[in-house]
Amino acid sequence: MGNCASFTPKWGLSDLHCKGMVPIDEDETHEGIKTIRIQKACEFTTSSVLCVCIITWNMNGKMSVEDVTKLVSSNRKFDLLVFGLQEVPKCDVAQVLQETMAETHILLCQKTMQSLQMFLFGAKSSEKYIRELKVDKHAVGGCGGIIGRKKGAVAMYINFSGIRMVFVSCHLAAHENKVEKRNSECQHISHSLFSKNDIQYTKSADITVWLGDLNYRLQGISSIPARKLIEENRQSKLRGKDQLLQEAEKGEVFNGYCEGTLLFKPTYKYNIGSSNYDTSYKIRVPSWTDRILFKVDHTSGLDAVLSSYEALDCIRSSDHKPVRAHLCLKVHGDSA
């Protein structure tokens, strides 16, 4: 599949019995976040059931049409595309995205909570495969103002040709010392989304994806040594200092989720208009604040293959770099 010009489901999952996703803090066994390697070759036409492109970006309250159009590559071999945006300016980002995607994709759904926005695009023929679509939001703080750094999450549940998916786009508390607050916000969001519905959508998903500015920082290293390692392309030495991986290892958040190897440079904080890290008086420690995590229900009959996980260095209108992932869902046991 994966040919967005003419979407045709290869198979359906409507007959599968789904026992459901476990909330991020309730796994019986302790696994942490599983780091997985990227399989760059994706066989769209042979074994992929559904290919999804996922993008998260903190826009820092600024609109650059040129940068928004750069978010989507010219190679659009995917069936669905999810944009999770934080600190969105007060302008019509949806219109810019629709104009950018018009040749191949249409807007299927959007959800906004002030500066938090999420958009779901699908191939032009994909609307007829939507069996159910729900949206929700949950605030955990933040404030208004010019940028409007609203904290919390917006979420979408979609049953697409029998594949049940939940996408959660979040913006969590800032600053290095707010680790416990971020953990708490994750728990509140996880338990609150779709909780007013009779059907527990977050527990019946075949795949759950969290994306956004999670704001976890590097712990136990100052800015200059961190930058030196990055300049020498030895950022692998920094992964053990990443708060998100540390907290997951303790079982505090995202237990059992998967993430691609952090091969790209930390995505925050940059001087606006450049790819140089912060030179203000604060000289912030570079950090992987912007992340994409996913978890597949083992009873769903699906596997998820990660064929890319990257930061887009060419985008420079924000102090964050966008992060993009390409997930291909496959029948369990099929070879690529």
pTM listed for this prediction: 0.90
Q: What is the pLDDT of residue 289?
A: 98
Which residue ranges in the chain fall short of pLDDT 50?
A: 1-27, 44-45, 146, 336
Could you give the CA distance from residue 48 to residue 256 in angstroms, rounded to a whole number?
23
Q: At 84, which amino acid appears?
A: G
Buried residues in 191-222 as b, exposed as e (16+ CB within 10 A): ebbbeeeeeebbbbbbbbbbbbbbbbbbbebe
Task: Write down the mean pLDDT value for the chain.
Answer: 87
From the list 57, 3, 298, 297, the residue with the least C-alpha distance to 171 is: 57
Q: What domains are there in the chain, each with its CATH number?
A: 34-331 (3.60.10.10)
pLDDT digits (tens, 9 = 90+) for 179-206: 999 999 999 999 999 987 666 777 889 9
Task: Quickly list DSSP for 102-148.
Answer: TTTEEEEEEEEETTEEEEEEEETT-GGGEEEEEEEEEEEEE--TTTT
pLDDT digits (tens, 9 = 90+) for 42-79: 654 455 689 999 999 999 999 999 999 899 877 788 99
**Residue 257 neighbours by CB under 8 Å, 6+ apart:** 24, 33, 34, 210, 248, 293, 294, 295
